[in-house]
Amino acid sequence: MKPKAPTSSRQKRERRGFSRTQVDHVRLLAPCVGTVLDVSPRGLRAETSECLPIGRDCVITLGEVGYSARVPCRVLWCRLAGTEKTAEGNVRPIYRLGVRFLGH
């Protein structure tokens, strides 16, 4: 049996079918508040302090200054990425999640 050849980052991107685009100043406003990390034509990746259940269908609200859009989606994955201290000294979880836009 031959060992598998290592996969390059380009091969990993091709597995998705669409490349991701990093975005600045776009917020996840609902069903929880968070920061959008990147988007593709089929979905997005975000960071939030709330864990959303995998498989949940929801309508997310994306926004930036002066603009917002409601987009139906499904949560594909959600993982604890770390924690951070709040200004009050409490520890808050940081979750990363991936959603797929419905209708695509």
Instruction: Give dist(CA 63, CA 17) in Å, integer.
Output: 26
Do the domain assignments include residue 9?
Answer: no
Do the domain assignments include residue 11?
Answer: no
pLDDT of the chain, 104 residues: tens digit per residue = 545 555 444 444 445 566 776 766 567 777 788 888 998 989 999 999 999 999 999 888 887 767 888 889 999 999 999 999 999 999 999 999 999 999 85
Chain centroid to CA 12: how far? 17
- Our count of domains for the chain comes to 1
Task: Give start and end residues of each alpha helix (H) in 27-99.
Answer: none
Instruction: Give dist(CA 42, CA 55) in Å, integer.
Output: 16
* CATH number of the domain bearing residue 87: 2.40.10
User: pLDDT at position 87, please?
Assistant: 94
State the CB neighbour count (10 A cutoff) for residue 13: 12
Do the domain assignments include residue 82?
Answer: yes
Tell me the whole-structure pTM to 2 decimals: 0.72
